[in-house]
Amino acid sequence: MATINAYIEWLPEISHGISRLWSLLNYQHDLSKLSLDDFVEISMDTIGKMIEGVIKNFVSLLIHLNRIKRGKKAISEDIKNRDLGECIDELINTSNLDSILIITPYNIRLNQWRNIAYHHNIKVIENNIYISYLQKDQRKEITLSRTELFLIVKKVVLSFTLMRLAENIFSFDNQDSIHKVLDGSNINHIKVRNESREIDFIGKLSSQGFKVIDLQTDKDDSLLKITDMQMYSDYEARAIHASQFLYQLWLYTNSSNLIIEYLTHTGDVYLRSKISSSFLTEVNTNNELVDALEK
């Protein structure tokens, strides 16, 4: 029960972080069109906000649960007052979570990437990106290409995704106990749950390179308008890919009719896919789903 209480204690912070992530995911740029200077600025802004605004809360929860597991004193206020670097150090020294706390290939910890982003320890000279950071009181510098920095951004997002997945599994495995405690608390767990479902849905789209333009939902009809984050020449393939999210849209909204409009970068509707929820209750495979689309 101690782990359940700890999880519930951190739910408001996790929920607030997820709300910030919604804004971050939904304010995407076509990075391929940016100059190198702008690309670096947007990438580092994403890294900083992802770590400080979202991942930090999950690290705090992991610290709390890890201390309980080790039979150590675990107080949330104490954890909140600790520096992110101290929390990550503790997790690295007492768990096997190195792979999500240290970003390869340069083995720079998440808190160091947060500091790099916030202190602007970065410069662009010609086509090279120079990043400096402190490690054991020594100033170090690495040189990245545009592609390498983009991979760093993806790895930071992956670290969050893995933490989020672990949290989802814990929540699912203990849902009955969690609901019992929440029902007796003053935490608005309905709001927390809805925000979590929203970010999971948007996150699935974002992970496949799609950006949400508009989302309108009610019990009868739900309309999702999406486009690509980056320019693609094969609109047909991407539009068909987008239509396969009708099932996810149904799971998220539970509406009677589901519609997805795939827009080109000029804002024109390239493909409009529609399906009835009555059919979705009977299908189990993606192939059946695609065959059922009303285009």
| Domains identified in the chain, total number | 2
Are 268 and 159 members of one domain? no
pTM across the whole model: 0.68
What secondary structure letter does DSSP report for 81? T
Are 224 and 287 members of one domain? yes
**Domain containing 107: what range?**
2-183
Q: Is residue 28 part of a domain?
A: yes
pLDDT digits (tens, 9 = 90+) for 9-45: 888 788 777 766 655 655 555 666 789 999 999 899 9
**Of 168, 183, 198, which one is at a domain's C-terminal end?**
183
Q: Are 59 and 84 in contact (CB under 8 A)?
A: yes
Q: Is residue 269 part of a domain?
A: yes
pLDDT digits (tens, 9 = 90+) for 67-124: 999 999 999 899 999 999 999 999 999 999 999 999 999 999 999 999 999 998 899 9
pLDDT digits (tens, 9 = 90+) for 84-96: 999 999 999 999 9
CA dihedral 248, 254, 255, 257 (to 10 degrees): 40
Q: Is residue 201 part of a domain?
A: no
Q: Is residue 198 part of a domain?
A: no
Are 93 and 214 members of one domain? no
Are 12 and 121 members of one domain? yes
Are 165 and 242 members of one domain? no
